[in-house]
């Protein structure tokens, strides 16, 4: 009889604490005053619902491994969810259903794919990964998920929402950086191919703010300046938000499960809120070029496209983007996967392969700004092809960043609850 763990070869770090405790995690504060102190901190934190949940309120059992660079994961193969057989032809006159983030794929490239394979491509968008997961779990059927984040791969794979890849249909993987041919989050790239890569850094208007983070002793503390009150923003994302607090405090473990570090990061952000009347928004890639916001955290891919948002008569060179020169900053990548509900799986493989072709990738980057990890995508190529302005070369992601950088990866459930609760307090101005 088949078993859900049939073929399981994974290791990694368990996502859910066992009854005995894993020993490696220290998300929950020590019993008694410690935990209370975290919950009631200076601004009074909500009782952590997830932490408080008793056993009868929890449905489902089992664990998901937590991929880490030092604990790579080989995902299992499940009976009844095998990769497609080799040698098949793409489905004829089919409509490929693509599910992706809003504004995350160049329609011109999609149209070129449709023309080449004589098919139709229907794109449906989502706004959050949580929304996408909910809809996929509810049974909505698509062929390809473009932009799956690394932190939800466990849920997608263990939930049997994605199918294993047949590598024979994906020869263009040879164009990708070697790091992504055997990534720690999916050893042997059984289920994923890389899509976009990006860093999280600081963006600022050079004509309004005269400090340069490169010259500052503590660049991540740049937003903590009361003279820029009303002009400072951070990304509206609980991981990015709390991570900024951690980095400002000198903590580079962006997957920390230490309640003291998370509490200190929350406190730093609360201070920032009071100091500058902090704006929490994910549209600062338009507001910084517009001059409404002067300092903000931002994703490199958004800022690479800053030229598109500049007001008339203002040169893009007034927009700066900083990421640590030594690469020790938040770096991430998204992936493309084929859903197990795919009705055109061969075409879906061809689609993934199409988006690993250099010309198509450059065309895609020229529209959405987000780099893809192909060896042919270099700063020189991006500047020569006028995809990237020379003043924003700092938005370019290099392979070294994925070796020295720090990634925000999936957290154990109880630590995730601490992060979320800390962010709820910060983002609601309590």
Partner 1 sequence: MTAKKATAPRFWIALAVPGMIWLLVLFIVPVYAVLAIAMGKLDQMLEAPVAVWSPLDWSSSNVIDVWRDIFGSASFAGPILARTIAYTAIAALVCLLIGYPCAYFVARFAGRRKGLFLVLLIAPFWISYMMRMLAWIDLLATGGYVNKALGWLGIGPVNWLGGHSVTVVFGLVYGYIPYLIMVLFAGLDRIDGSLLEAGRDLGLGRVRTFIHVTLPLSRQPILTGLLITVLPMLGDYYTNQMLSGAAHTSMIGNLIQGQLGTPGLEGQGAVLSLLLLLVLLIPMVYYVIATNREAASR
- Contact residues toward partner 1 (CB under 8 A) are 15-16, 39-40, 43-47, 49-50, 52-54, 56-64, 128, 130-131, 133-134, 137, 155, 158-159, 229-231, 233, 236, 238, 273, 277-281, 290-292, 311, 413, 416-417, 420, 424-430
| 65-66/13-14 β-pairing | antiparallel
64 versus 222: smaller Cβ distance to partner 1: 64
59 versus 215: smaller Cβ distance to partner 1: 59
For residue 124, give the DSSP letter. E
Give me the least distance between CB of 256 and partner 1, in Å please.
18
- Show the CA angle centred on residue 85, arms to residues 347 and 334, nearest 5°: 50
Give me the least distance between CB of 357 and partner 1, in Å please.
34
Give me the least distance between CB of 3 and partner 1, in Å please.
17
Contacts of 380 (CB under 8 A, 6+ apart): none
363 versus 427: smaller Cβ distance to partner 1: 427
Q: What sign for the dihedral angle of Cα 243, 245, 250, 255? A: negative
236 versus 258: smaller Cβ distance to partner 1: 236
Q: What sign for the dihedral angle of Cα 312, 214, 198, 108? A: positive
Q: Do residues 84 and 345 touch, judged by C-beta distance below 8 A? A: yes
Give me the least distance between CB of 323 and partner 1, in Å please.
24
371 versus 426: smaller Cβ distance to partner 1: 426
Using DSSP, state whether 48 is helix, strand or coil: coil
Give me the least distance between CB of 167 and partner 1, in Å please.
28
Q: Do residues 196 and 333 touch, judged by C-beta distance below 8 A? A: yes
374 versus 417: smaller Cβ distance to partner 1: 417
Using DSSP, state whether 226 is helix, strand or coil: helix
Q: How far apart are CA 148 and CA 165, in angstroms?
A: 15
193 versus 233: smaller Cβ distance to partner 1: 233
Give the residues across from 71 on adjacent strands: 68
Which residue is associated with the tokens 């503390």? 221
Q: How far apart are CA 388 and CA 366, in angstroms?
A: 8
Question: Residue-wise over 171-194: b if at least 16 C-beta within 10 A, else e?
Answer: ebbebbbebbeebbbbbebbbbbb
21 versus 376: smaller Cβ distance to partner 1: 21
Nearest residue to 429 via CA among 277, 295, 292, 283: 277
160 versus 404: smaller Cβ distance to partner 1: 160
Q: How far apart are CA 357 and CA 337, in angstroms?
A: 16
Nearest residue to 102 via CA among 62, 76, 131: 131
Give me the least distance between CB of 315 and partner 1, in Å please.
16
Give me the least distance between CB of 300 and partner 1, in Å please.
22
């Amino acid at each position: 009889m088949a078993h859900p763990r049939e073929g399981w070869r994974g290791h990694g770090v368990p996502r859910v604490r066992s009854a005995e405790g894993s020993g490696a995690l220290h998300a929950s504060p020590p019993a008694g005053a410690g935990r209370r102190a975290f919950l009631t901190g200076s601004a009074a934190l909500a009782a952590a619902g997830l932490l408080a949940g008793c056993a009868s309120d929890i449905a489902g059992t089992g664990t998901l491994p937590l991929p880490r660079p030092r604990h790579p994961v080989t995902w299992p193969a499940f009976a009844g969810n095998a990769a497609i057989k080799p040698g098949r032809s793409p489905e004829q006159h089919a409509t490929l259903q693509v599910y992706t983030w809003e504004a995350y794929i160049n329609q011109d490239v999609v149209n070129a794919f449709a023309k080449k394979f004589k098919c139709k491509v229907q794109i449906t968008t989502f706004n959050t990964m949580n929304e996408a997961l909910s809809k996929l779990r509810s049974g909505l059927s698509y062929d390809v998920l473009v932009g799956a984040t690394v932190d939800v791969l466990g849920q997608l794979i263990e939930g049997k929402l994605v199918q294993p890849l047949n590598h024979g249909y994906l020869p263009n993987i040879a164009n990708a950086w070697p790091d992504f041919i055997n990534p720690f989050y999916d050893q042997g790239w059984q289920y994923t191919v890389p899509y976009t890569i990006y860093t999280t850094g600081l963006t600022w208007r050079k004509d309004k703010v005269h400090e340069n983070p490169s010259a500052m002793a503590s660049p991540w503390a740049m937003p903590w300046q009361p003279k820029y009150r009303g002009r400072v923003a951070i990304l509206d994302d609980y991981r990015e938000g709390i991570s900024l607090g951690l980095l400002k405090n000198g903590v580079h473990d962006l997957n920390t499960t230490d309640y003291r570090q998370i509490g200190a990061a929350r406190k730093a952000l609360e201070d920032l809120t009071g100091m500058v009347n902090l704006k929490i928004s994910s549209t600062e890639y338009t507001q910084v070029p517009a001059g409404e916001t002067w300092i903000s955290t931002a994703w490199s891919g958004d800022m690479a496209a800053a030229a598109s948002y500049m007001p008339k008569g203002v040169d893009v060179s007034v927009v700066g983007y900083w990421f640590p020169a030594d690469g020790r900053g938040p770096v991430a990548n998204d992936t493309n996967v084929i859903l197990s509900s795919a009705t055109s799986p061969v075409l879906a493989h061809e689609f993934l392969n199409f988006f690993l072709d250099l010309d198509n990738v450059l065309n895609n980057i020229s529209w959405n700004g987000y780099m893809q990890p192909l060896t042919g995508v270099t700063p020189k190529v991006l500047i020569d092809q006028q995809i990237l302005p020379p003043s924003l070369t700092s938005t370019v992601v290099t392979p070294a960043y994925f070796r020295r950088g720090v990634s925000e990866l999936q957290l154990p459930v109880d630590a995730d609850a601490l992060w979320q609760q800390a962010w709820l307090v910060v983002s609601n101005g309590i």
